[in-house]
Structure 1
């Protein structure tokens, strides 16, 4: 496959993902106005609704119709199967039907359909649709990143003292994970060189897109899954930012954390602290 053919193919994948994300987001937005049937998964903070399941089925069925030889990893399928999925070099769509389910349940306006396509284990297409605020973030490898069709770019902030950083408590309330996160955040927040401000918005995909469009300068988390990260990863990178594992290692979406920032300089200063984070035992 030539480079030109590869770009055409990625553009086609992106176009398809955009249409499906819009359709799925409309379903989720309509459901947000109704009473929600809420269940829990591994903890009381890890919620799932009938809409999560319905949206995931819609997205996977539509993608499978277009690309029957591709593979699929969906949050709800993984939860039902009870086994952490494997990512191979084969083209694989990684889907979070509603990233920010707790936000969705409470009506907090940061929930999104997240769709990522990984080839050779690396995200090359990403769509994150905040259906509440009608913000469609999209990117493909080599094509730049957009929100509602307009190019977006990361901030140029290099100093933590001038940075707004996003972080979250996560859905798993294991003491060692929470304590390590609180310890890191405390160290970043205190004198003599404190981070300017922290925010918690409850959706990894929306947080990463906030970095991509420059309204936040960085984000870190130590309790995520591939479906939380895959859509936002390529969007951040194509917007000019950097993504990595919080230890400073190259990002592997199958590992349970992420750090992203608008600049390499800011990322390096955050990593000096986030490398101390604890992570779940599962890969």
Structure 2
């Protein structure tokens, strides 16, 4: 009788354990399915980042129809009560002006943040290493400079960011700072979520002007007037490093900002990762 009871207990225990394993497996599958459903439910509508410029030295209002951006570790401006400027340069290719930009930044002890594509890293190793050596952040601008909102496959999406970070590490021996600027300012709710899932902050901007056409550069006076009139506390300033005008006026612009009481900080300061 006792042996029969023991056998029954063992059988009951076995089936209880089996049911527990099945329950855990189903739970994991459910959670995985739930995650996939949540990701697929995110909007893929493509938006173009913009802000509403103002010339009273107050922060501009950002895009209204896509205010979900605030939920995805995204920045376009800093503290409105702090006279700090975050100077960023987008670099899709080298046009011969970056050394001059770096010379000027060094003169003013001003840290900048360069958003570069993968080919820029591979084709300009000396410049990238100089940026890092002189205290600038070299950040991620994607592999192919495509709209991240247009990429349906998550592996292809991740490849745009991760392959660029890999190229940076191969050239510098360091991990790439986890700041991402979406090419052309194009984004969707899903692309911001995927970027955040990779551990990156998305960096938009609160100032930009048309400075990227090599054959149609703004005049010095036109550029300075626009920059000075729209400067504001916490500004994330987007310039392009291929611009001859930017390279030639940067010394004067930095001097003007210093006289106005502004300091230049890196994105690490903006995101509270460290003081700089």
Same fold (TM over 0.5): no
TM-score by length of 1: 0.27
Which protein, 1 or 2, shows the higher relative CO under an 8 Å CA cutoff with sep ≥ 6?
2
Larger Rg: 2
